[in-house]
């Protein structure tokens, strides 16, 4: 049998075995590069994707970092075109959508760990600061989830009047502020503390409660309430 046909047969068998192991034993039994291979199978129906999976992990560090990387950065890797980048990004989008729906179905006070996980997944890997507001009803359920501002690597302009105006638009009775620190250090800055107090005061005059301000990073988070800053 010609070498290229032998190679095709080997790669086809590898794909089949990996898929069968995933279905039989579950995702806990496979390594990051194998999970990435399963994703890459969708974008590249034939051939060996293991070298590309390992190259992506070497470049970005982990499965989570890979699917969270900007599409333009992914496409700088040899072998990653637009179709492959879209496939990788769609996995992240699906994961965030699933987590978001899980948080929305319950009061945030009873699903705090899920809320933190969602915020870190949605914002923790971003290279730019984002400022998000979760608008809550009287039962502390999320009625709206909006990114109000996006800034630079270490600064996001936030306007308390805009936050309060959006709260009134949604009929919210409570708020949770969330923003990320791309550096990974989730220690609140003086500007973070001052801005939080300005929003708390502006919201309070209209009977809107600020429950917390959460700073997220890739591997950590800080709660203003837990630190006694609210």
**Cα 19 off chain centre by:** 26
Q: Are residues 67 and 156 in the same domain?
A: no
- What confidence tens digit (pLDDT) does each residue in 89-143 have? 999 999 888 887 777 766 776 778 888 888 888 888 888 889 999 999 999 989 9
The predicted pLDDT at position 154 comes to 58
Domain membership of residue 73 as a residue range: 3-95
Domain match, 133 and 217 both: yes
pLDDT in tens, 31-79: 898 999 999 998 888 778 899 999 999 999 889 889 988 899 999 999 9
* pTM value surpassing 0.85: no
Q: What is the pLDDT of residue 149?
A: 83
- Tokens representing 151 are 């800034």
How many helices (H) does the chain have, and how many strands (E)?
Answer: 9, 5
Structural domain count of the chain: 2
Does 3 have pLDDT greater than 80?
A: no
For the record, the structure tokens of 11 come out as 């790669």
CB distance 134 to 175 below 8 Å? yes
How far from 70 is each of 67, 128, 183, CA to CA, in Å?
8, 11, 17
pLDDT at 168: 95
Domain of residue 69, CATH code = 1.10.150.20
pLDDT recorded at residue 6: 40
Burial 116-150 (b: 16+ CB within 10 A, else e): bbbbbbbbbbbeebbbbbbbbeeebbbebbeebbe
Average confidence (pLDDT) over 161-182? 94
Q: Residue 74: what pLDDT?
A: 94
Q: Which two tokens stand for residue 38?
A: 């399963």
Both 88 and 130 in one domain: the answer is no
State whether 65 and 150 are in the same domain.
Answer: no
Residue 101 lies in a domain: no
State residue 103's pLDDT score: 74
pLDDT at 210 (0 to 100)? 96
Q: Which two tokens stand for residue 70?
A: 């900007």
The answer to the question of residue 203 being in a domain is: yes
Domain CATH for 167: 3.40.140.10
pLDDT of residue 11: 60
Average pLDDT (10-31) is 81
In a domain, 217, yes or no: yes
Q: pLDDT at position 90, please?
A: 93
**Residue 112 and residue 213 in one domain:** yes
Cα-based angle 209, 215, 217 (whole degrees, multiple of 5)? 155
State which of 95, 126, 150 marks the end of a domain: 95
> What is the share, in percent, of the chain residues with pLDDT greater than 70?
91
| Positive/negative CA dihedral, 24, 25, 31, 32 | positive
Q: What does 156-210 look like in DSSP terms, one character per residue? A: ----HHHHHHHHHHHT-SEEEEEEE-TTS--PPPHHHHHHHHHHHHHHHTTT-EE
At 15, the pLDDT band (50, 70, 90 cuts) reads confident
Residue 27 phi/psi, 5-degree rounding, is -65, -20
């Amino acid at each position: 049998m010609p070498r290229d046909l032998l190679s095709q047969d080997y790669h086809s068998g590898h794909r089949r075995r990996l898929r069968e192991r995933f279905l039989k034993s579950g995702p806990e039994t496979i390594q990051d590069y194998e999970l990435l291979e399963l994703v890459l199978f969708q974008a590249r129906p034939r051939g060996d994707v293991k070298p590309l999976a390992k190259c992506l992990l070497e470049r970005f560090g982990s499965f989570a970092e890979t699917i969270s990387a900007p599409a333009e950065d992914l496409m700088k890797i040899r072998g990653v075109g637009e179709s492959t980048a879209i496939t990788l990004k769609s996995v992240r989008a699906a994961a965030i959508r699933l987590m978001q729906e899980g948080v929305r179905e319950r009061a945030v006070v009873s699903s705090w760990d899920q809320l933190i996980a969602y915020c870190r997944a949605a914002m923790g890997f971003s290279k730019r600061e984002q400022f998000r507001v979760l608008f809550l009803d009287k039962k502390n359920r999320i009625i709206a989830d909006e990114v109000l501002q996006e800034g630079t690597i270490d600064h996001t302009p936030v306007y308390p009047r805009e936050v309060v105006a959006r709260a009134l638009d949604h009929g919210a009775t409570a708020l949770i502020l969330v923003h990320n620190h791309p550096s990974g250090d989730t220690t609140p800055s003086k500007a973070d503390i001052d801005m939080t107090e300005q929003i708390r005061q502006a919201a309070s005059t209209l009977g809107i409660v600020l429950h917390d301000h959460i700073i997220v990073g890739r591997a950590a988070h800080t709660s203003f309430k837990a630190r006694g800053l609210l």
